[in-house]
């Protein structure tokens, strides 16, 4: 079960990368609305998200739904950290406190 928990959390991290990629694509000005949705960054981001979803579904074969919902909350932490590192977004003290609570909750529920 521990392996599936780690794989599940890895899928949340993969999903967070896809969200960061979508955000970088959204920052670009395109000459047409169709290019906003049909460009390499957006397509790759959705493929990555789809793979993360498949991994999550696979893990749900072993992980109970109640635990899976808690583990998915780790995605909030990953998105916030990646947003700070890659996109240089500001992280407030309230967000840091929230992330600490999420991490503690995931640890308590997972083990």
97 vs 70: which has the higher pLDDT: 97
Is residue 106 predicted with pLDDT exceeding 80? no
Euclidean distance between CA atoms 89 and 79, whole angstroms: 11
Euclidean distance between CA atoms 14 and 35, whole angstroms: 24
pTM of the model: 0.84
pLDDT digits (tens, 9 = 90+) for 68-79: 988 888 898 899
Query: Which spans in 1-111 are helix H?
Result: 2-26, 33-37, 40-59, 65-72, 74-87, 93-110
């Amino acid at each position: 079960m521990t392996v599936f928990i780690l794989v599940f959390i890895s899928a949340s991290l993969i999903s967070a990368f896809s969200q960061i990629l979508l955000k970088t694509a959204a920052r670009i000005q395109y000459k047409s609305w169709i290019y906003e949705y049909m460009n390499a960054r957006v397509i790759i981001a959705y493929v990555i998200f789809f793979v993360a979803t498949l991994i999550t579904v696979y893990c749900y074969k072993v992980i109970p739904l109640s635990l899976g919902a808690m583990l998915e909350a780790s995605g909030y932490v990953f998105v916030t950290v990646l947003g700070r590192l890659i996109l240089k977004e500001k992280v407030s003290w309230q967000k840091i406190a929230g992330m600490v609570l999420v991490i503690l909750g995931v640890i308590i529920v997972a083990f």
